[in-house]
Structure 1
Amino acid sequence: MTTAKRVRLAPEERRAQLIALGLQMLATRPLEELSVEELADQAGISRGLLFHYFNSKQEFHLAVATEAARHMLEVTAPDPDLPAEQRLVTSLGKMIDYVTENSDTYISLVRGAASGDDELRALFDATRSANANRILQSAPEFGVTPTPEVELAVHGWVAFAEEVIVRWLRAGQPGVTSREQLMQLLANALFALAGAANV
């Protein structure tokens, strides 16, 4: 590996560069294995200078995970111009495509929910809540009232969907079920859970 040539950047530009490099590394390894030494080498800075932008390795990991979560929510955002059912199916397709294209990053995010770091857990919980709230906003269009019971069921479904998608991906995808069948499975599970809670 070659060391990058040192280039002077404004503090906010350098911080953004380091986070972007961290995201690239996250595509091939778990979050906890992001190497500060390798990152500093790729950025062309000293390890000590890296800690000028992040107080600790944990803070750097949190910054990378936050950007990864933001990007995931951005690229999987539902299209508000679509009818409710098509919006849901399209969003599920976007999520499956994102996971397929960014499997290591996604698995790091999902598995991070079991992290011992309180800030990371809070980030993952907030990301799950954002996904659940997208669905709950559309609930009335499906004739479902977003009661506390329904909210609980939808939040549980988000965790279920994460696990199913990860297992599907690791099992070889079409050898187990097709992308379309997976989307249908997830949609059916969502309607079943929401319907059971909507009593």
Structure 2
Amino acid sequence: MSTSRVRLSPEERRLQLLDLGARLFATRSVEEISIDVLAEEAGVSRGLLYHYFGGKQDFREAVIRHAVEDLVEQTAPPATGDPLERLATSVGVYVDYVIANLTGYRSLVRAAAGGSEDLRAIYEEARSALTDRIFREDSLGDHLHDDAATRLVIRGWSALVEEMVLTWAADPSVMSREALVDTLVGALPALTGVVSGDRPG
């Protein structure tokens, strides 16, 4: 008995293509993510991809945005539990995501630092979303003050997390994944505690 194919809406089809494109992000640099590569690997026509994304650069940016939005979604902490344990879960997922998408993620960091305004904007949006979530999720209980100084420290901590994870990925023998996560999580209250100590009573 034959089965009828489910007809996807244009938005569902576009999302499906973005999911396929995001898979390229795991093993290819930003520069290597292209309509031609996806068309060949997914067995779809280039014309279809141009129809949904307009051009090569638009396609690349859409795929990268989709990938980083997926990162933000995946690293959302559990809704309940001890604040630092929830943060540890989130950081652990981040570590696993970077390892699973190492080539693409590393090239995105380089591209964001190297002059691509559009990719830098996508990267900064993701960084801001992750920073805002630390305050929204109250990662340090009642001890995290939402002010300019603390946000500066949180942004610096985020950069520390990214750098340590990428460096660790090149040589995981330095410490275990669990030790890495514990170190990163422990650094946050240590850093924000310094700022809190400078705050007038």
**Normalising by structure 1, what TM-score?**
0.84
Distance in 2 separating the partners of 1:186 and 1:140: 14
Task: Give 1:192's match in structure 2, choosing from 174, 190, 193.
Answer: 190
Alignment partner of 1:27: what SS? Answer: helix
Question: Contact 2:34–2:60 (CA<8 Å) still a contact in 1?
Answer: no
Question: Contact 1:19–1:64 (CA<8 Å) still a contact in 2?
Answer: yes
Distance in 2 separating the partners of 1:67 and 1:115: 21
CA drift of 1:10 comes to: 4.8
User: What's the counterpart of residue 163 of structure 1?
Assistant: 163
CA drift of 1:139 comes to: 5.3
Map 1:35-74; keep pairs closer than 5 Å: 35-74=34-73
CA deviation vs aligned residue, 1:1-28 (integer Å, no higher than 9, x gap): xxxxxxx965334422322221122211
Question: Contact 1:128–1:159 (CA<8 Å) still a contact in 2?
Answer: no
Task: Give 2:180's match in structure 1, choosing from 176, 179, 182.
Answer: 182
**Between 43-52 and 114-123, the greater mean CA deviation after superposition:** 43-52
Residue 180 of structure 1 aligns with an amino acid whose one-letter code is E
CA drift of 1:161 comes to: 0.6
Residue 85 of structure 1 aligns with an amino acid whose one-letter code is L
Residue 77 of structure 1 aligns with an amino acid whose one-letter code is A
Give aligned pairs, total.
191
User: What's the counterpart of residue 81 of structure 1?
Assistant: 80
Unaligned runs of 5+ in 1: 1-7
CA drift of 1:185 comes to: 1.8
Unaligned runs of 5+ in 2: 1-6
Distance in 2 separating the partners of 1:19 and 1:115: 25
CA deviation vs aligned residue, 1:161-191 (integer Å, no higher than 9, x gap): 11110110111x1x11111211122123222
Distance in 1 separating the partners of 2:79 and 2:16: 32
Q: Percent identity?
A: 43
Question: Contact 1:113–1:120 (CA<8 Å) still a contact in 2?
Answer: yes
Question: Contact 1:112–1:121 (CA<8 Å) still a contact in 2?
Answer: yes
**Normalising by structure 2, what TM-score?**
0.83
CA deviation vs aligned residue, 1:22-79 (integer Å, no higher than 9, x gap): 1122211111111322222334444344222222211111111111111111111111
